[in-house]
């Protein structure tokens, strides 16, 4: 517990609002968590899985209408509407507080209020920030205990400071019509009502570590990004770090944990995972950009994870993991999802809780956005630097998305500002990670469209300013696309572990050791400069995904021009000039 007056006062206010029957302070002890797991199993909130095959693992099903982030119900409630910008929903803060308090009032009646103190980032690191989440959900407590550093040590670190983020979560009735995920950046406050889905209720994650933190970062001179962080160790034993921003369900977890192809393993290459979803980056004393992963676990997409695509992620899920909305195998109390293996349970239960025979049913067993919550320490390739509060120095920043056409496998920006342009024009086919249509191409700058807590025009300017401060120590900026399709609708690039072949070119470029071809959009590799050893792919096929088609890009530039108009006066001149430059080169 804490004597921090700002914390105690706020909890009293929230107690008076939601009127719980009692209050439980999460202290970080295994005994307390174990008692909560037991209780959740008694009420049916969680299902205990086969403890021999999956020790410490549990299954949870959310309500069927509550399986993904809800971008249309997510609000940035800055005092001035223009500070939220054209890409965020906005509500006047006082009006929003009133609406949320009316929804949350009395909603903990007969229920327990759990107080979760948590640190984003290793406790005590200069990168780290503290939050307190109040929730009436044991599922939230158990997930936050995996995803963040929680417990009494957080109070010790906070002391009597009032610099912490308030988070109120109330399940209420899981009423989709009254579901709101609201952020008050100027008050360091988050309120989430009527949901039980991870991205909406694990308030340390997208709400704090991206929406609130991006706002703090702009004001304090650092960056909060939707990025994985990985280290590539070469045969000489040198490790270079890369951060990469891809939209939701576009391959961050997979890239962060990649296993090198055999020819690379034999040479001595290794990949270390620092983070799979969020990076907080600051300019270090040496002038370089340093990154920490503020999280302590992985909230990863289950479908498609298998022994071939991502053995490291699969291994992460074999102990101490909470599965959400996957299929259950009643015969041996294990779990299954599409793309795990070819042996779905016959005697199963689907993600909706209905009896399900995976061998005969045409329905999906797991929801496409079903997830696993696994401790980072489970990861066989977790970086030795994972817990270090100093972070890791970033050599390259990669942007990327899902594009069936147009965007080549990889290209390098001309310089930092051109790289910011490349990030700002990112577009990707939408996925099941948020409610709404899937597979529609939309602009998603820096993979931050749903996560930027302020005006995106100002966000672009912040990127430009950071580049200015970094000067010649700035990481090089690249763009990748693993998702080009052939005429039969199949992926041309094998992806996954083979993505290391592209990372090798990227790192060689950073050291000035690889050649490239200049195109209107930037520098692409020569087909002979991507190592294809051990891969069944011809240089011609590779060349087909390195090509930059001027007609397609001219069309793309029109779309970008339209998109940029949204930001009005806040659109940095530098980026408009970058667009003009691109259009000129395409002529």
87: alpha, beta or left, given left = phi > 0 and alpha = psi -120 to 50? alpha
Which residue, 228 or 281, is less far from ligand SPV as judged by CB? Answer: 228
User: Which member of 57, 207, 250, 316 is catalytic?
Assistant: 250
Q: In the complex, which residue's CB is closest to Mn ion? A: 277
- Distance, CA of 432 to CA of 419 (rounded, Å): 28
Considering only the stretches 32-40, 166-174, 490-498, 549-557, report the one whose residues sit in contact with ligand GTP under the rule CB under 6 A.
490-498
Exactly one of 56, 86, 389, 495 binds ligand GTP (CB under 6 A); that residue is 495
Q: Minimum Å distance from CB 68 to ligand SPV?
A: 7
Q: Minimum Å distance from CB 140 to ligand SPV?
A: 12
The answer to the question of residue 254 lying near ligand GTP (CB under 6 A) is: yes
Residue whose token pair is 């659109």: 571
Considering only the stretches 28-36, 74-82, 144-152, 251-259, report the one whose residues sit in contact with ligand GTP under the rule CB under 6 A.
251-259
Interaction partner, residue 519 (ligand GTP, Mn ion, ligand SPV, none; CB < 5-8 Å by kind): none
Interaction partner, residue 198 (ligand GTP, ligand SPV, Mn ion, none; CB < 5-8 Å by kind): ligand SPV
Which residue, 403 or 509, is less far from ligand SPV as judged by CB? Answer: 403
User: DSSP class of residue 384?
Assistant: T
Which residue, 397 or 586, is less far from Mn ion as judged by CB? Answer: 397
Q: Minimum Å distance from CB 431 to ligand SPV?
A: 8
Q: Minimum Å distance from CB 277 to ligand SPV?
A: 5
Which residue, 158 or 255, is less far from Mn ion as judged by CB? Answer: 255
Which residue, 68 or 239, is less far from Mn ion as judged by CB? Answer: 68
Beta strands at 327-329 and 348-349: parallel, antiparallel or unpaired = antiparallel
Interaction partner, residue 199 (Mn ion, ligand SPV, ligand GTP, none; CB < 5-8 Å by kind): ligand SPV
Q: What are the tokens at 327?
A: 């299929």
Exactly one of 284, 304, 311, 393 binds ligand GTP (CB under 6 A); that residue is 304
- Distance, CA of 292 to CA of 328 (rounded, Å): 35
Exactly one of 33, 433, 503, 521 binds ligand GTP (CB under 6 A); that residue is 433
Q: How far is CA 547 from CA 407, 408, 443, 468, in A?
A: 9, 6, 22, 31
Tell which residue, 384, 383, 212, 377, has the closest CA to residue 296.
Answer: 377
Q: Which residues contact 359 (CB under 8 A, 6 or more apart)?
A: 344, 346
Work out whether the CA dihedral 107, 203, 29, 8 comes out positive or negative. negative
The answer to the question of residue 277 lying near Mn ion (CB under 5 A) is: yes
Query: Would you call 7 exposed, middle or buried from its count of C-beta atoms within 10 A (0-12, 13-18, 19+)?
Result: buried
User: DSSP class of residue 87?
Assistant: T
- Distance, CA of 505 to CA of 524 (rounded, Å): 10
Q: Minimum Å distance from CB 25 to ligand GTP?
A: 30
Q: Minimum Å distance from CB 561 to ligand GTP?
A: 28
**Cα(first)–Cα(last) distance of the chain, in Å?**
65
User: DSSP class of residue 271?
Assistant: E
Q: Which residues contact 238 (CB under 8 A, 6 or more apart)?
A: none
- Distance, CA of 479 to CA of 418 (rounded, Å): 11
Residues that bind ligand GTP (CB under 6 A): 246, 248-254, 276-277, 300-301, 303-304, 309, 433, 482-483, 491, 495-496, 499
Residues that bind Mn ion (CB under 5 A): 248, 277
Annotated catalytic residues are 250
């Amino acid at each position: 517990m804490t004597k921090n007056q700002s914390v105690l006062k706020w909890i009293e206010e929230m107690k008076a609002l939601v009127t719980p029957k009692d209050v439980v302070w999460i202290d970080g002890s295994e005994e307390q968590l174990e008692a909560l797991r037991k209780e959740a199993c008694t009420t049916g909130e969680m299902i205990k899985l086969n403890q021999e095959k999956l020790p410490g693992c549990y299954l949870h099903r959310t309500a069927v209408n509550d399986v993904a982030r809800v971008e249309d119900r997510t609000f940035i409630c800055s005092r001035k509407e223009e500070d939220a910008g054209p890409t965020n929903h906005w509500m006047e803060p006082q009006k929003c507080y009133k609406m949320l308090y009316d929804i949350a009032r009395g909603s903990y009646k007969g229920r327990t209020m759990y107080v979760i103190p948590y640190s984003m980032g290793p406790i005590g690191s200069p990168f780290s920030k503290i939050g307190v989440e109040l929730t009436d959900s044991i599922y939230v407590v158990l997930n936050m205990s995996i995803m963040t550093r929680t417990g009494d040590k957080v109070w010790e670190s906070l002391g009597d400071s009032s610099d912490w983020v308030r988070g109120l979560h109330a399940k209420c009735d899981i009423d989709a019509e009254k579901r709101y995920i609201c952020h008050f950046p100027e008050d360091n406050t988050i309120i989430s009502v009527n949901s039980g889905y991870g991205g909406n209720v694990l308030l340390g994650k997208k709400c704090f570590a991206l929406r609130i933190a991006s706002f703090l970062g702009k004001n304090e001179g650092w960056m909060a990004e939707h990025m994985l962080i990985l280290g590539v160790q070469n045969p000489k034993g040198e490790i270079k770090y890369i951060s990469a921003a891809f939209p939701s369900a576009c391959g961050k977890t997979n890239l962060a944990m990649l296993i090198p192809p055999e020819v690379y393993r034999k040479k001595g290459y290794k990949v270390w995972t620092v983070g799979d979803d969020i990076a907080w980056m600051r300019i270090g004393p040496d002038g370089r950009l340093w990154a920490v992963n503020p999280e302590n676990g992985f909230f990863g997409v289950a479908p498609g994870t298998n022994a071939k695509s991502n053995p490291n992620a699969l291994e992460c899920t074999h102990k101490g993991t909470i599965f959400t909305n996957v299929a259950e195998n009643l015969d041996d109390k294990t779990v299954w999802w599409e793309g795990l293996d070819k042996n779905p349970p016959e005697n199963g239960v689907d993600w909706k809780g209905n009896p399900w025979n995976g061998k005969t049913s045409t329905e999906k067993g797991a929801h496409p956005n079903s997830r696993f919550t696994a401790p980072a320490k489970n990861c066989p390739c977790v970086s030795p630097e994972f817990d270090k509060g100093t972070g890791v120095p970033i050599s390259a920043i990669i942007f990327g998305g899902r594009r069936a056409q147009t965007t080549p496998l990889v290209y390098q920006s001309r310089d930092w500002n051109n790289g910011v342009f490349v990030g700002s024009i990112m577009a990707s086919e939408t996925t099941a990670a948020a409610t709404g249509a899937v597979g529609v191409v939309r602009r998603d700058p820096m993979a931050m469209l749903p996560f930027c807590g302020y005006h995106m025009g100002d966000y672009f300017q912040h990127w430009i300013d950071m580049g200015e401060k970094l000067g010649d120590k700035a990481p090089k900026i690249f763009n990748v696309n693993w998702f080009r399709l052939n005429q039969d609708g199949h992926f041309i690039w094998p992806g996954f572990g083979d993505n290391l072949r592209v990372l090798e070119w990227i790192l060689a470029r950073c050291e000035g050791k690889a050649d490239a071809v200049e195109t209107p959009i930037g520098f692409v590799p020569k087909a002979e400069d991507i190592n294809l050893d051990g891969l069944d792919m011809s240089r011609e096929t590779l060349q087909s995904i390195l090509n930059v088609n001027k007609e397609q890009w001219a069309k793309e530039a029109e779309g970008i021009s339209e998109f940029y108009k949204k930001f009005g006066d806040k659109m940095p001149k530098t980026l408009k000039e970058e667009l003009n430059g691109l259009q000129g080169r395409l002529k």
